[in-house]
Structure formats: structure tokens, C-alpha cells
Amino acid sequence: MPKLFEVEIIIRAVIVADDLADAVSVAYEQSSRIVRDDPLDDVDVVCEFKVGDRLPDSWTEACIPYGEHDDQSIAEILAAQPPVIEPDTKTIDMFAGVAS
């Protein structure tokens, strides 16, 4: 069963520009070329997504995540996941010793 993961990809490039604002503009204009030229050795898996987790930036549950999985939306993939059962830490040891 496929799972959803948030990854962080850091791409570094050297930009020639007149000032900081121009450097940002050039970086956006050249972003496709920069990504194509970068070896992408700085990729980190930040976390696995579960139902109820906050999506990064402008992502919504209607978005289609990257990868090969029949163009399912994030919501559809999450709906197919088994439910997450969070232990109740207030009562977790309530019956410890009763079952022995």
C-alpha cells in the first residue's frame, strides 16, 4: 500500500545579478535549468504523512502527489490508509496488572 512522505530537496546555485532582488528574479527565471543541472544530492525525507497531518505550503488534499500511483489525490491515498490509533496516555496503564 503506498504511503505519503514529505521530502525536502535543497538545490543550491550560483547566480549573477545586480542585487538581491535581481538574484531572486534570476533564480525564478532559471529554476528549470538549475533543477536540470543540479545533481540533487541533498534530498531528505522529513516525515510520513498520516490522516490529519498538516500539508506543506500550498498543497491541499486535492493535489496529486509526485510518483507513480494512478493519479490518485492525497485525499484518496489517505482514505485507503488504515486508521491511526493513538493510545490514550491518561488511561493507558489503568488496567495494568488486572489482566495478569
Spans of all domains in the chain: 4-79
Rounded Cα distance between 49 and 6, Å, is 7
Q: How many helices (H) and strands (E) does the chain have?
A: 3, 2
Region 11-38: what's the mean pLDDT? 93
Under the banding of pLDDT at 50, 70 and 90, the label for residue 3 is confident
pLDDT at 11: 87
Under the banding of pLDDT at 50, 70 and 90, the label for residue 28 is very high
Under the banding of pLDDT at 50, 70 and 90, the label for residue 23 is very high
Rounded Cα distance between 44 and 10, Å, is 9
pLDDT at 14: 94
